């Protein structure tokens, strides 16, 4: 243990690092070594966080677009004195059957399932 502490103290001195707590430096070097030895784990972690952030942004964009679309439709219907959407009767079953939620021709999930 004393030899390891001397090695860590030597590393700190060679790299002009001012560490009063050599145990903290030892832990940092251990973590750095682990990350260097397991780059795939680091890549998976970063990729997972990036996918999570992209999903969150996508959901936010969808929310804003739906809100904007609804607002514009309401405005145009009012200007043209058309019946509000919520007062319209539901479409016939044949039309409802064509509308499958979450399935678009370019949707990755749709392509993988078929």
**Do residue 19 and residue 44 come from a single domain?**
no
pLDDT number for residue 39: 86
> Which among 92, 112, 93 is positioned nearest to 103, based on CA atoms?
112
* Residues 29-58: b if buried by 16+ CB within 10 A, e if exposed: eeeeeeeeeeeeeeeeeeeeeeeeeeeeee
Percent of residues, the chain, with pLDDT higher than 70: 82
Helix (H) or strand (E) holding 57: helix 39-79
Same domain, 4 and 43: no
Domain count across the chain = 2
Q: Is residue 96 in some structural domain?
A: no
Mean pLDDT of 21-48: 84
Give the span between the Cα atoms of 31 and 13, in whole angstroms: 20
Q: What is the pLDDT of residues 50-103, one digit of tens each?
A: 888 999 999 999 999 999 999 999 999 999 999 998 899 988 888 877 776 655
Rounded to an integer, the average pLDDT of 16-37 is 81
Can you say how many angstroms the Cα of residue 91 is from the centroid of all Cα atoms in its chain?
36
For residues 102 and 112, is the Cβ–Cβ distance under 8 A? no
Is 30 domain-assigned?
yes
Residue 43 has pLDDT above 60, yes or no: yes
**82 within some domain:** yes
Higher-confidence residue: 71 or 6?
Answer: 71
Does position 4 have pLDDT exceeding 80, yes or no?
A: no
Please give the Cα distance from 38 to 90 (Å, whole number): 56
pLDDT for the residue numbered 100: 66
pLDDT level of residue 109 (50, 70, 90 thresholds):
low
């Amino acid at each position: 243990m004393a030899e390891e502490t001397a090695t860590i103290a030597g590393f700190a001195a060679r790299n002009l690092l001012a560490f009063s707590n050599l145990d903290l430096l030892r832990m940092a070097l251990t973590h750095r070594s682990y990350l260097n030895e397991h780059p795939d784990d680091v890549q998976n972690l970063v990729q997972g966080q990036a996918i999570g952030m992209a999903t969150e942004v996508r959901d936010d964009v969808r929310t804003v677009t739906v809100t904007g679309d609804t607002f514009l439709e309401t405005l145009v219907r009012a200007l043209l004195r058309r019946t509000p959407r919520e007062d319209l009767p539901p479409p016939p079953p044949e039309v409802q059957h064509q509308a499958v939620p979450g399935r678009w021709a370019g949707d990755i999930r749709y392509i993988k399932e078929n």
